[in-house]
Homo-oligomer: A and B are copies of this chain.
Amino acid sequence: MNLDDLIKRRGAWLRGDGADSDVVISSRIRLARNLAGFPFAARASASDFKNVVGEVVGAAKAVLPKGEFEIIDFAELPEDDATFLHERQLISLEFAKIDRPRALILQNDEELSVMVNEEDHLRMQTTASGFVLKELWKKINEFDDLFESKLNYAFDKQFGYLTACPSNVGTGMRASVMLHLPGLIETGEISRVFQSLKKINLEVRGFHGEGSKPLGEFFQVSNQATLGLSEETIVEQLGQIVESVLRYERDARNVVLARDKESLLDRCFRALATLQSARLLSVEEAMEKLSSIRLGVHMKLFKSISPSFVNEALVNIQPVHLRKLADVQGYSPCEDDVLRADYLRELFANLSEGK
C-alpha cells in the first residue's frame, strides 16, 4: 500500500456517524495475542521477531480475503510514515518508535488491523465511528478466529490468553470509546465524572490514548480489568458506564445552552472565525477550536458543517498529515503552525454560517 493513498481518504472511524455520535467519536476494541513456542517481546532476539512476523503474515495471507488487506513492513518504512500511521490512530506511539522487525496488517478502510511485534506478538484492533462496542466485539472476535485457525496462541486454561504484561492476561482485551465532553468541562463537572470512572477501574486518557495528554476536550475511556470477566461482560459494563456519561454530557450541554446561550454562541463563532483567519495555529489550539466547532455542530448552531468534516480535520492537522497534504518535507514545528493555519483556513473558507 502506498501510504499516500490513505491521506486522500477518511478512515471509517472518522465518518462521524454511528450511534450517539454527538458525544462518542469512535469505539475501539483491541486483543493482545502471543504465539506459543516463540519468546515474548522482552526476551526475543531480532531473528525471533522476524520469525513472528513470518508466522503472522503467513497466517494473514492464508486467511484474509484477497485485496482487502495490506501488509506494511516496517523495515522499509520511513520514520515519517510510521508517525503518520500513529497520527491516524492505527498504531501506538511505541510501535512507531521501536526498532525491531515488525509489520502492520491493515484493512483498506482502516477498520481492522494487526500490529505484529508491538508489546505482544499480535495486537489486533478494530475501530468504528460512534458508540458501537457490541458490533466491534463481534467483528474482532471473528477476525481473531480466522487467525486462531492458523496460529497456535499462548493460552493457559486457568488464566486465559497469556500476554507480555500481566495487566492484559485473560481476555487480552481492551475496549475503549473516544468521548467529546465539552459540556461537562463547561459546567465544571468533568473531574467528578472522571473520579467516578477511576473508582470503577476505568482508565481515562487523551486523544492519542496511552501516555497522551487531553487535547481539545476529547477523552478515551477504557477498561482496565482483563482477567476474570468475559469479553461480553467487559463490553456490557463499559457500555453501561458510557451510557450514563452520555446522559451527563447531554444534560450539561443543555444546561450551558439554557444558562448562557450568548457565551456558547460566542465560543463557537469565535472558534470558526479563528480557524478561518489565523496565520499560525499550534496543534493544541487547533484541537481546542475544532472541539468548539464540533460542539456547535451538535448543538445545531452551525448549519453547513458536518461532523465528518470536523473529525477529518482533527486527524489532518497533525504534523505528518499536514506535510503530506501540502506535499512538503522537513518542516520545523514553527513552519507546521503556518501549514496548519493554511490548511484550516482553506478548509473552513466560504462557509456561510450566520453570525
Smallest Cβ distance from A97 to chain B, in angstroms? 31
Is the CB of A305 closer than 8 A to any CB of chain B? Answer: no
Across chains A and B, which 5 residue pairs bring their CB atoms closest together, nearest first?
A: A273-B273, A273-B277, A266-B279, A269-B277, A266-B280
**A280 CA to B264 CA, complexed, in Å:** 10
Partner of A277, one of B262, B263, B270, B341: B270
Is the CB of A34 closer than 8 A to any CB of chain B? Answer: no
Partner of A269, one of B265, B270, B279, B355: B279
**A270 CA to B289 CA, complexed, in Å:** 13
Contacts of A341 in B (CB 8 A): 266
Contacts of A262 in B (CB 8 A): 279-280, 338
Is the CB of A276 closer than 8 A to any CB of chain B? Answer: yes
Is the CB of A197 closer than 8 A to any CB of chain B? Answer: no
Contacts of A338 in B (CB 8 A): 262
What is the chain B residue whose CB lies nearest that of A281? Answer: B266
A269 touches B280 (CB 8 A): no
Report A173-205 residues with CB < 8 Å from chain B CB.
none
B269 touches A278 (CB 8 A): yes
Interchain residue pairs with CB less than 8 A apart (22): A262-B280, A262-B338, A263-B279, A263-B280, A265-B279, A266-B278, A266-B280, A266-B341, A269-B277, A269-B278, A269-B279, A270-B273, A270-B277, A270-B278, A272-B277, A273-B273, A273-B274, A273-B276, A273-B278, A276-B355, A277-B355, A345-B355
Contacts of A355 in B (CB 8 A): 276-277, 345, 349
Report A17-51 residues with CB < 8 Å from chain B CB.
none
**A45 CA to B270 CA, complexed, in Å:** 54
Contacts of A272 in B (CB 8 A): 277
Contacts of A277 in B (CB 8 A): 269-270, 272-273, 355
New A-B pairs, 5, CB < 8 Å, besides A273-B274, A274-B274: A262-B279, A266-B278, A270-B273, A270-B274, A270-B278
Report A334-349 residues with CB < 8 Å from chain B CB.
338, 341, 345, 349
Contacts of A266 in B (CB 8 A): 278-280, 341
Report A234-292 residues with CB < 8 Å from chain B CB.
262-263, 265-266, 269-270, 272-274, 276-280
**A337 CA to B302 CA, complexed, in Å:** 22
**A341 CA to B262 CA, complexed, in Å:** 11
Contacts of A274 in B (CB 8 A): 270, 273-274
Smallest Cβ distance from A283 to chain B, in angstroms? 16
**A276 CA to B272 CA, complexed, in Å:** 11
Contacts of A349 in B (CB 8 A): 355
